[in-house]
Amino acid sequence: MTQRRPRGSRDLSVLATIFRYELRMLLRDTRTILIAVVAPLVILPAWILISNRVERSEERRLEQAEYRYAVTGSQATWAREQIAQALEWEDPDAEEPAGRITFVEADVSDPDSALRAGELQLLVEALSAEEFAAVLEEEVAEARARSGPSEEDAESEESSAASELERLLDDPDFPLGEVRGLRLLFRAQSDFSRNAQDQLEGRLRGLRTVKRDSVFRTRGFPVAAEAVAVVEDQDVASAEKVAGSFLGLVMTPFLLVLMLSGGSIVAADAISGEKERGTLETLLTTAATRREIVRAKQLAVIVVGLAVAVVNVGNLAIYFGLGVLDLPQGLQVGLRAGQTLALLFLFLPLAVLVSSALLFLSGVSKTYKEYQIYFFPLFITFLIPSLAPVLPGMELRSVIAFVPIAGVAVAVRDVLLSGVDWLFASIAFASTGLAGVTMAGWVESSLSNERLISRSELDEADLVGGAALFPRHVFQWFLGFWVLFFVVSLWFGDQLGVRGQILVNLVGIFFGGSLLLLRRYRLPVREALSLRMPRPAAWIATVVGAPSALLLGVALANFVNTYIFPVPEEILRAFGESLSEPALSLGQLVLFVSVMPGVFEEIAFRGVLLHGVRKRMGPWATALTVGIIFGFFHVALFRIAPTAFLGVILAGVVLLSRSLYPVILWHILNNAMSTVPFQLGWLPEDFSPPLWLAPIAAVTLAGSLWVLWKSAAPAAVHGRAAGPPD
């Protein structure tokens, strides 16, 4: 029920009362306070403290240990000499003298198995020049065999080590066969063994440098001063700037996490808890308006969320201040007044959005438990945009300002890094704030939603069963399908190949799942799948509409990639490669990539899914929801948005035409057009339609949709539900 008379908009006493009591009740919930607020305060520093302690004692243990090694090989005597000298050597560049480390040569009969058994930490093989050459060549051959012939994988550590050796071997000046070698064998899974190797190798190398220099000197090696370049680096950024760039990246996500978890303490209880206890109906039958109730609770969520954030930050600050914990190097921020003001300004809409979203979850959940289930997805959804500053090449003044949370996160980074760009900050403020206010409106309407607020809603549908239950279960089913879909592509993708995967997904999951649901809920097939023949004009509209939507979609995707989320070229190309289906012939391409998806995906998404969703939502929300779910069934991250866009249009086509047939053709055409011309070489791989086509496409798309609506199949039983928005 909308509040037609803004009663009490000036009278804040009701709002204040609800707010006051909300906090009072929270403070009396000692268990929640203990677990949600006090426990983290103790746990976090305790954890850091303990891990520091453990680390230090581990270091001491490593220092104080006695390292046992053995020497084998034909050149053992020479090796012992080298080792003895190496242990004497001290690094002249070291800032502090290296701790004394005790190496003891052990006398073992079978050094190999002693090393494996952990009796030895290190085994030194002393090789003669010939043996050493043989070992090197063998290693190169092995590394080559492992990394394969391809040159592209050169970045991998193993093959780069191999190529370094290779170069060494190919170098005619390298005295292969003339120098003896020391091979250090150790066990990487043991800290002690690793440390022994590390220490001895470092000293051996240091010793070698000393010896080489003395050889140069004694031989009178001529070195001209101008032939040597001394390299020195200096960081011109101030400590504040360095700290700012670090803080700028972590501040928004960190605060967001604190506010989400802190605000959740109130939000979970605020509506879903009230439903569960039966107090919501008591509250809703009072003279307080929905708006007052929502605003008061929202205020409580904000206050508690901020309080938890402040307390946690303060807590950490105290520990840093006391020196119990060490600050990351150079992390000292001197915030100027302007910066502080800008940060507060930016975090305000964020707090509003967080509180609205949490209350919205609470509003749509009927129980505490349901709230908890929804919380995690929300958490992730909020966290991801807050990481926007981490994206490479994210510039100020880009369209990202319009993306809620992400805009604020980028603006915050720039406040800490350089200064305040008030235009950008204001847009970020507005977009995030607007999202918050919109969501607050949703909370209000959730309080008028009879399905959500009535407690005595004994699940009649559960009693009736069958089709009545379907709209409520449809999301759970599709979540299940999605998990299955994901697991199949992740774990069996390679074995199945492209065709196998398409078959399993389309026939197994989408078609099989649809049949299962139709049967399980005894859905009326003709009605559920909208199997009605549209008028002939609908076909023409489809043939015109499909390419229009495709063009528009590509243009939008380009726009998004260029201005909103500038995804690096390499990533896009990598995804493009993983998408190409080189194994398919033209016929197979048409069958597997265009016809079959057209039929089976439409049955599943615009048939069964849409049937369930539209019993719960209006046409706009239905199209949007179906589209987004469809998008998520295209696992590659950068395909979600374009397929969701297509999904929304396809759902719209069904809602307008009241028939599944045009949309099947639409989907087939769409997929064929986006693959076949490339396969046949009519278009180059990196073809991108000119931007000026987009507005034309938008117009023809709108026209097609209009024609589809006008030529819709005759209204059937649920004509009202399927009716076009007017």
Partner 1 sequence: MSADTNPTVQVQGLRKTFYDESRGEVNAVDGIDFDCHAGEVFGLLGANGAGKTTTLRMLSTVLRPSGGRARVMGHDVVLEPEAVRRSLGFYSASTALYPRLTGRETLEFFARINRFPPDRVPARVEELVDRFGIREYERARVEKLSSGMQQKVSIARTIAHDPPVLIFDEPTVGLDVLNALEMVRVIRDLRDEGKTILFSSHIMSEVEKLCDRIGIIHRGRMLAMGTLDELRDLTGEHYLEDIFVHFVTRTEGLESATLGATGELEADDGGRPNAGAGHATDQASESREEGA
617 binds partner 1 (CB under 8 A): yes
467 binds partner 1 (CB under 8 A): yes
209 binds partner 1 (CB under 8 A): no
461 binds partner 1 (CB under 8 A): yes
Q: Closest by alpha carbon to 303, among 37, 553, 482?
A: 37
10 binds partner 1 (CB under 8 A): no
CA distance 37 to 44: 11
Which part of the chain contacts partner 1 (CB under 8 A), choosing from 499-507, 548-556, 609-617, 643-651?
Answer: 609-617
Closest separation in Å from C-beta 269 to partner 1: 10
CA distance 372 to 374: 5
321 binds partner 1 (CB under 8 A): no
**CB nearer to partner 1: pick between 18 and 509:** 18
One of 65, 313, 468, 531 touching partner 1 (CB under 8 A): 468
Strand, coil or helix: what is 105?
strand
**CB nearer to partner 1: pick between 24 and 219:** 24
**CB nearer to partner 1: pick between 110 and 457:** 457
Paired with 123 in beta bridges are 70, 185
Q: Closest by alpha carbon to 124, among 163, 165, 81?
A: 81
Closest separation in Å from C-beta 282 to partner 1: 4
Strand, coil or helix: what is 102?
strand
**CB nearer to partner 1: pick between 284 and 673:** 284
One of 202, 441, 689, 723 touching partner 1 (CB under 8 A): 723
Which part of the chain contacts partner 1 (CB under 8 A), choosing from 1-9, 537-545, 585-593, 704-712?
Answer: 1-9
471 binds partner 1 (CB under 8 A): yes
Return the residue matching tokens 């490479």. Answer: 392
Q: Closest by alpha carbon to 376, among 386, 366, 388, 384?
A: 384
**CB nearer to partner 1: pick between 177 and 618:** 618
Q: Closest by alpha carbon to 670, among 549, 567, 560?
A: 549
Closest separation in Å from C-beta 353 to partner 1: 24
Closest separation in Å from C-beta 658 to partner 1: 14
Region 27-46 residues binding partner 1, contact defined as CB under 8 A = 28-29
One of 249, 453, 610, 708 touching partner 1 (CB under 8 A): 453
703: its two tokens: 């026209």
Closest separation in Å from C-beta 522 to partner 1: 10
CA distance 363 to 280: 11
One of 60, 277, 369, 520 touching partner 1 (CB under 8 A): 277
**CB nearer to partner 1: pick between 96 and 460:** 460
Q: Closest by alpha carbon to 538, among 111, 530, 260?
A: 530
7 binds partner 1 (CB under 8 A): yes
Closest separation in Å from C-beta 470 to partner 1: 8
620 binds partner 1 (CB under 8 A): yes
H helix or E strand, kind and range, residue 668: helix 661-673
One of 216, 457, 492, 636 touching partner 1 (CB under 8 A): 457
Which part of the chain contacts partner 1 (CB under 8 A), choosing from 82-90, 346-354, 409-417, 449-457?
Answer: 449-457
Closest separation in Å from C-beta 276 to partner 1: 10
Find the angle CA(553)-CA(554)-CA(559) to the nearest 5 degrees.
95
One of 144, 183, 241, 455 touching partner 1 (CB under 8 A): 455
> Which DSSP string do the residues of 537-571 spell out, in sequence order?
HHHHHHHHHHHHHHHHHHHHHHHIIIIIS---HHH
118: its two tokens: 């952990």
231 binds partner 1 (CB under 8 A): no
592 binds partner 1 (CB under 8 A): no
> Which DSSP string do the residues of 649-666 spell out, in sequence order?
HHHHHHHHHS-SHHHHHH
**CB nearer to partner 1: pick between 14 and 196:** 14
Strand, coil or helix: what is 124?
strand
**Cβ neighbours, 10 Å, residue 722:** 25
What's at 16, amino acid-wise? A
**CB nearer to partner 1: pick between 165 and 283:** 283
162 binds partner 1 (CB under 8 A): no
CA distance 262 to 257: 8
438 binds partner 1 (CB under 8 A): no
**CB nearer to partner 1: pick between 95 and 460:** 460
Which part of the chain contacts partner 1 (CB under 8 A), choosing from 4-12, 192-200, 217-225, 383-391?
Answer: 4-12
448 binds partner 1 (CB under 8 A): yes
440: Cα separation from own chain's centroid: 26
Which part of the chain contacts partner 1 (CB under 8 A), choosing from 15-23, 98-106, 197-205, 374-382?
Answer: 15-23
Q: Closest by alpha carbon to 538, among 669, 670, 710?
A: 710
Whole-angstrom CA distances from 438 to 262, 307, 352, 356, 487 are 22, 24, 10, 8, 36
H helix or E strand, kind and range, residue 125: strand 122-127
CA distance 338 to 344: 10
563 binds partner 1 (CB under 8 A): no
Q: What values do phi and psi take at 176, rounded to 5? A: -65, 135
Return the residue matching tokens 């055409």. Answer: 669
Per-residue binder mask for partner 1 (CB under 8 A), 286-305, x = binder: xxxx--x-------------
**CB nearer to partner 1: pick between 379 and 442:** 442
441 binds partner 1 (CB under 8 A): no
Which part of the chain contacts partner 1 (CB under 8 A), choosing from 58-66, 348-356, 359-367, 716-724?
Answer: 716-724
Closest separation in Å from C-beta 532 to partner 1: 19
Closest separation in Å from C-beta 439 to partner 1: 17
> Which DSSP string do the residues of 254-306 spell out, in sequence order?
HHHHHHHHHHHHHHIIIIIIHHHHTHHHHHHTSS--HHHHHHHHHHHHHHHHH
661: its two tokens: 């047939």
Half-sphere exposure (Cβ direction) of 443: Cα atoms closer than 13 Å: 32
CA distance 590 to 598: 10
> Which DSSP string do the residues of 698-723 spell out, in sequence order?
HHHHHHHHHHHHHTPPPP-TTHHHHP
Q: What is the CA radius of gyration of the chain?
A: 34
**CB nearer to partner 1: pick between 493 and 524:** 524
Q: Provide the binding-site residues for partner 1, judged by CB under 8 A.
A: 1, 3-5, 7-8, 13-14, 17-18, 21, 24-25, 28-29, 277-279, 281-289, 292, 448-461, 463-464, 466-468, 470-472, 614-621, 720-721, 723, 725-726
